[in-house]
């Protein structure tokens, strides 16, 4: 994959196949994050004789997603917040000591998306303890007048469309910008960073985060319930806040020109007139900005 060799250069303690320990840790973090969310959701069902848990059950999915979102955002933030102190202490080895935290933080975002796509009312070991949990986990489409016989298929088709678009967008970001760029090597080695002058940046400031936003929208539409809407908003806020964190870095580097660029180009949506450029990006066809 593009950028792999450059990434390896910055990780001397991860020679050969040891480099795969990083994504493995991320996958473990993702699994633990999702297990935590589901376990928290079913606690009131396991202890349905405890009135306070029954009363709190409808709100527990929100609390769980917020906790995972905050923890993941904090882990990612340590890459930025501890950069100078780690570079003073470890020099060029600082990146390899910090990247595992960033990877685990990033991998805590998919559980938030999966949680939004989960049917809270269908979790084991039995039905929810609170009727409100069932209500908030039910599709809202019938309330909008969509016939029950087609509303499931409508949700599947809509979510499937955004799932495909999101996956293609993340794929194109990886293939176009490289693994080293996606793992923010430039953050610890600014002297080696290069300005990426790709056509997609003329219509979208954060292609990878936009891909994540589309996947989040797919999760929202798959259930289209009160839970899926609010839990998707929590996941989206992680992308939005992380984008702001990165842009603060870019403003510090490039100053007013980048501020003007932010006014011209959307962060996490594509304007209708820019769809052809976005489609070319999905095809991974490189075009330089004129």
pTM (2 d.p.): 0.91
* pLDDT category of residue 56 using cuts at 50, 70 and 90: very high
pLDDT of residue 198: 82
Count of beta carbons in the 10 Å neighbourhood of residue 211: 23
Query: Does the pLDDT of residue 286 top 70, yes or no?
Result: no
Residue 1 reports pLDDT greater than 80: no
Q: Are 108 and 75 in contact (CB under 8 A)?
A: yes
- Cβ 219 vs Cβ 167: under 8 Å: no
Rounded CA-CA distance 72/64 in Å is: 12
| Whether pLDDT at 195 is above 70 | no
Give the pLDDT confidence of 199-231 residue by residue, as tens digits: 999 999 999 999 999 999 999 999 999 999 999
Give tens-digit pLDDT for 9-53: 889 988 888 999 999 999 999 999 999 999 999 999 999 999 999
Confidence of residue 142 (pLDDT cuts 50, 70, 90): very high
The pLDDT of residue 182: 85
Which of 89-98, 182-191, 257-266 is predicted with the least confidence, judged by mean pLDDT? 182-191
Q: Are 213 and 239 in contact (CB under 8 A)?
A: yes
Reported as half-sphere exposure (CB side, CA atoms, 13 A), residue 83 has a value of: 14
Spatial neighbors of 6 by CB under 8 A, at least 6 apart, are 178, 180, 185
Does residue 103 have a pLDDT over 90?
yes
Of 106, 70, 109, 87, residue with least CA distance to 219: 109
**Residue 43 · residue 128 · CB < 8 Å:** no
Whether 290 shows a pLDDT value over 60: the answer reads no
In whole angstroms, what is the distance from residue 23 CA to residue 172 CA?
19
Percent of the chain surpassing pLDDT 70:
96
> Structure tokens of 211?
């891909």
pLDDT score of 159: 97
162 token code pair: 């955004």
């Amino acid at each position: 994959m593009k950028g792999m060799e450059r990434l390896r250069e910055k990780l001397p303690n991860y020679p050969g196949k040891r480099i795969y320990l990083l994504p493995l840790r991320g996958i473990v973090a993702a699994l633990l994050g999702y297990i935590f969310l589901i376990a928290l959701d079913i606690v009131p069902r396991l202890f349905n004789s405890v009135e306070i848990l029954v009363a709190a059950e409808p709100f527990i999915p929100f609390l769980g997603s917020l906790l995972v979102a905050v923890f993941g955002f904090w882990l990612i933030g340590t890459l930025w917040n501890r950069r100078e102190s780690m570079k003073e202490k470890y020099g060029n080895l600082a990146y390899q000591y910090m990247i595992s935290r960033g990877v685990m933080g990033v991998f805590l975002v998919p559980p938030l998306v999966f949680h939004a796509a989960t049917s809270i009312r269908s979790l084991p070991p039995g039905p929810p303890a609170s009727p409100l949990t069932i209500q908030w986990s039910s599709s809202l489409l019938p309330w909008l007048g969509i016939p029950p016989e087609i509303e499931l298929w409508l949700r599947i088709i809509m979510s499937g469309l955004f799932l495909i678009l999101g996956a293609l967008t993340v794929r194109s970001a990886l293939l176009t910008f490289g693994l080293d760029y996606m793992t923010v090597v430039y953050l610890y080695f600014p002297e080696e960073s290069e300005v990426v002058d790709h056509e997609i940046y003329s219509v979208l400031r954060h292609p990878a985060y936009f891909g994540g936003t589309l996947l989040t929208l797919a999760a929202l539409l798959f259930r289209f319930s009160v839970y899926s809407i609010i839990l998707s908003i929590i996941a989206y806020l992680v992308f939005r806040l992380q984008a702001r964190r990165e842009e603060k870095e870019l403003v510090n580097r490039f100053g007013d020109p980048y501020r003007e660029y932010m006014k011209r180009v959307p962060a996490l949506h594509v304007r209708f007139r820019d769809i052809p450029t976005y489609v070319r990006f999905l095809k991974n066809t490189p075009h330089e900005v004129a």
